[in-house]
């Protein structure tokens, strides 16, 4: 993610090019002022790993934050004070980078299991006090939107999904982390409840105490509330 600390590195010439999925507003405003000579390259979440894997975006050094890691580099996001779940998003970096540095605030005895990123891809392990503040995950672009325009887009998106032939018992659904995407999931939840649609699985970002979404799954699994 392109966040505020990058601005100083761009201004002093350490960072000359950015390839990203999105960036913080502070960095966007600085880029718009012309602090960087080269244009920013925006890519989709799917385009990013594809470009890394096919060599279009080579990586000299990948720094990967891991909630748990052993001295050899085996890493997991399943446990630790900064537990975040799967580390799949950074797997393509670990496999393709020339050098891989795992940064962790939870160095555990060997072996760290279950393994998400294997030691065979890791060159260095660095222990720090804290790899991040989980409380800030739901801030900025990943907060639930209150913008009327975003809510209108979200409602229309949910209506389109509901009108499709795919919206039926047993369907699966994935949304993004942005505010409009979260709102679309909330609107879709209302439609599912109203029409008694049971999905088989759902993937989406959730901020703590952001909203209650009742997702109906098949009879074998029952129903659950995700927070």
Domains of the chain with bracketed CATH: 6-136 (3.40.1080.10), 140-226 (no CATH)
Using left for φ > 0, alpha for ψ between -120 and 50, and beta otherwise, residue 144 falls in beta
Using left for φ > 0, alpha for ψ between -120 and 50, and beta otherwise, residue 92 falls in alpha
Q: Please state whether beta strands 172-174 and 201-203 pair in parallel, antiparallel, or not at all (unpaired).
A: parallel
Buried b (16+ CB within 10 A) or exposed e, 114-144: ebbbebebbeebeeeeebeeeeebbeeebeb
In this prediction, residue 12 carries a pLDDT of 92
**Residue whose C-alpha is closest to residue 171's, from 198, 208, 132, 211:** 198
Farthest-apart Cα atoms in the chain, separation: 59
In this prediction, residue 138 carries a pLDDT of 53
- Over residues 33-70, the pLDDT tens digits come to 999 999 998 888 778 889 999 999 899 999 999 999 99
Per-residue pLDDT tens digits of the chain, which is 227 residues long: 567 788 999 999 999 999 887 787 889 999 999 999 999 988 887 788 899 999 998 999 999 999 999 999 999 999 898 888 788 889 999 999 999 999 999 999 999 999 999 999 999 999 999 997 666 655 555 566 778 888 999 899 999 999 999 888 888 877 776 678 888 888 888 898 898 888 777 665 554 434 445 444 444 333 333 33
């Amino acid at each position: 993610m392109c966040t505020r600390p990058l601005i100083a590195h761009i201004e002093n010439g350490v960072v000359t090019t950015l390839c990203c999925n999105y960036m913080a507003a502070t960095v966007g405003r600085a880029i718009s002022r012309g602090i960087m000579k080269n244009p920013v390259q925006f890519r989709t979440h799917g385009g990013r790993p594809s470009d890394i894997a096919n060599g279009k975006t080579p990586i000299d050094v990948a720094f990967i934050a891991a909630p748990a890691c052993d001295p050899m580099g085996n890493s997991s996001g399943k446990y630790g004070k900064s537990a975040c779940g799967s580390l799949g998003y950074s797997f393509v970096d670990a496999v393709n980078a020339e050098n891989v540095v795992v940064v962790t605030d939870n160095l555990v005895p060997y072996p760290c299991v279950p393994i998400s990123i294997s030691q065979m891809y890791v060159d260095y392990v660095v222990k720090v006090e804290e790899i991040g503040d989980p409380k800030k995950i739901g801030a900025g672009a990943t907060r639930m939107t209150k913008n009327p325009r975003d809510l209108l887009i979200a409602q229309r998106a949910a209506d389109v999904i509901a009108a499709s032939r795919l919206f039926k018992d047993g369907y699966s659904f994935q949304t993004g982390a942005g505010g409009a995407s979260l709102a679309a999931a909330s609107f879709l939840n209302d439609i599912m409840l109203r029409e008694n649609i049971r999905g088989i699985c759902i993937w989406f970002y959730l901020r703590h105490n952001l909203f209650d979404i009742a997702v109906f799954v098949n009879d074998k699994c029952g129903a659950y509330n995700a927070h």
